[in-house]
Amino acid sequence: MRVLFTTTPGTGHFHPLVPTARALQRAGHEVAFAAAEPFRSQVEASGFPVFPAGVSFESLAQELKSHVQAPPRMEVPEGLDRVLELFVDRLARPMARALVPLCRRWRPDLLISESAEFAGPVVAERLGLPHATIQVGGVGFSDDGGTGLFARRLDGLRAEHGLPADPELRALYRYLHLSFMPAAYFGGSLPPNTQYLRLEVFDQSGEERLPDWMASLGDRPVIYATLGTVFNKLTHHLRTIIEALRDEPMDLIVTVGRDMDPARLGPQPSNVYVERYIPQSLVLPRCELAILHGGYNSVMSALHVGLPVLIVPLAADQPVNAQSCERLGVGRRVNPDTLTPELLRQQVREMMRDGAYRERARRFQAETQALPGMAEGVAMLERLSRERRPSQRSLSMSEKEKALAGPVARG
């Protein structure tokens, strides 16, 4: 089987695809990625051939700058429309133009796209190819407002490829949608043919390892803080976190991103460690609490190891992820507009004293570990390529109750 993955050219979009792509390779299938040329080196470093397609975030510097300086919030129509304009009009449109001749030339048997890359499903439908999607964010477009805005944006792209309007977004997820978080996290908002699988975290796209000083940490609680790989430019929030916790009886680890010099945050006391990048899969098992911006991958990584989260949601789906964690009882959120060192310090102290957050996070971890593994996902994809039929799955009554009520939080 020949499989083509399509991805938005960002680490947070590419990393969730890697475990599936590698599993397909191990099963003997030929795997390649379509991604913007400047993103080629990162994909190739993870072991995959790349076909240049679409545009990079670097070429959309002004749009991305505006998203960082005035972060759009997807829970309001104006913010969602800004996000969709970027991902549908500016990114998916040129990607789709490149994918059509690429698919005709390379002739994949199956297209797999991350859920924020919309060109793959459109081109697959145009060419009559089966396609699957992989969830990479906390948002499911099941509410009327989100679905309507999304469908109107996407219908413009569909029309360019001779496809009819899809007001209910049925074509986008027609065949198979994979989620590596349980249904309870999304409150029942993902497509009905979603298959829920056990998470395998990938976050080492280079030679990153734990810093040597990690071995010298003592018995004090360890707190990890990050704003991810895009909103790390908002250094005033990082400074607030450090000011809140630098004098507390704990060790604080702050990562600022590969593209930022830790020295920008100034000298720190001996219990504060500022690094560019540490794989979360390595550092989080050593921690008691994670302070996050609410990016989907960071939240997944924390819950994967049963770690409670304190979220300062800045943009995109981050407020939705914060709401999910609150509903499940595994985290709290702090409004970034009202964030102060005093408020953050109080929130951290309360969460550290309240062991129920850690207990619920561990129960959620157990729920994720009970899901089917990657071998099942590979079998589903092989069956889709072979039979070219949608994989329909209805949640059981108990699963529906979990998704809607979140019993983890009631424990």
Q: What pLDDT, in 10s, does the model give residues 20-55?
A: 999 999 999 999 999 999 999 999 999 999 999 999
Q: What's the mean pLDDT in 397-404?
A: 45
What distances in angstroms separate CA 351 from CA 283, 292, 336, 338, one per listed residue? 19, 14, 18, 19
What average pLDDT does the chain have? 88
358-397 pLDDT, tens digit per residue, is 999 999 999 999 999 999 999 999 999 999 998 765 444 3
CATH of domain 212-366: 3.40.50.2000
228 against 105, higher pLDDT: 105
- For the ranges 39-48, 188-197, 349-358, 395-404, which has the lowest average pLDDT? 395-404
Residue 407 pLDDT: 40
Amino acid (one-letter) located at 372: P
401 has pLDDT over 50: no
Q: Mean pLDDT lowest for which of 32-41, 232-241, 245-254, 299-308?
A: 232-241
Answer whether 2-198+372-410 and 212-366 agree in fold: yes
For range 240-244, the mean pLDDT? 96
Q: How confident is the model at residue 206 (pLDDT cuts 50, 70, 90)?
A: low
Nearest to 7 by CA among 142, 134, 165: 134
- What CA–CA distance (Å, rounded) separates 76 from 82? 10
Question: Residue 397: what pLDDT?
Answer: 38
Q: Choose the CATH number for 2-198+372-410 among 3.40.50.150, 3.30.2320.30, 3.20.20.10, 3.40.50.2000.
A: 3.40.50.2000
Other residues' Cβ atoms within 10 Å of the Cβ of residue 233: 15
Q: Are strands 289-292 and 30-35 parallel, antiparallel or unpaired?
A: unpaired
pLDDT on residue 5: 98
Distance of CA 233 to the CA centre of its chain: 19
Report pLDDT for 79. 60
Per-residue pLDDT of 305-344, as tens digits, reads 999 999 999 877 889 899 999 999 999 999 999 999 999 9
pLDDT at 260: 87
Q: In the prediction, which pLDDT does 395 show? A: 44
Q: What pLDDT does residue 403 have? A: 46
**3-state secondary structure labels for all residues of the chain:** CEEEEECCCCHHHHHHHHHHHHHHHHCCCEEEEEECHHHHHHHHHCCCCEEECCCCCHHHHHHHHHHHHCCCECCCHHHHHHHHHHHHHHHHHHHHHHHHHHHHHHCCCEEEEECCCCHHHHHHHHHCCCEEEECCCCCCCCCHHHHHHHHHHHHHHHHHCCCCCCCCCCCCCCCEEEECCCHHHHCCCCCCCEEECCCCCCCCCCCCCCCHHHHHCCCCCEEEEECCCCHHHCHHHHHHHHHHHCCCCCEEEEECCCCCCHHHHCCCCCCEEEECCCCHHHHHHHCCEEEECCCHHHHHHHHHCCCCEEECCCCECHHHHHHHHHHHCCEEECCHHHCCHHHHHHHHHHHHHCCHHHHHHHHHHHHHHCCCCHHHHHHHHHHHHHHCCCCCCCCCHHHHHHHHHCHHHHC
Nearby residues of 307 by Cβ (< 8 Å), 6 or more positions away: 284, 287, 288, 289, 290, 358, 361
- Condensed to tens digits (0 to 9), the pLDDT of residues 57-116 reads 776 665 555 555 555 555 555 566 777 888 899 999 999 999 999 999 999 999 999 999
What is the pLDDT at residue 205?
67
- Spell out the domain ranges in the chain: 2-198+372-410, 212-366
Buried b or exposed e, range 329-339, using 16+ CB within 10 angstroms: bbbbbbebeeb
Task: Identify which has the larger pLDDT, 277 or 141.
Answer: 277
Helices 356-369 + 296-304 axis angle, to 10: 90
CA distance 403 to 394: 13
Residue 203: what pLDDT? 84
pLDDT digits (tens, 9 = 90+) for 126-152: 999 999 999 998 876 554 456 788 888
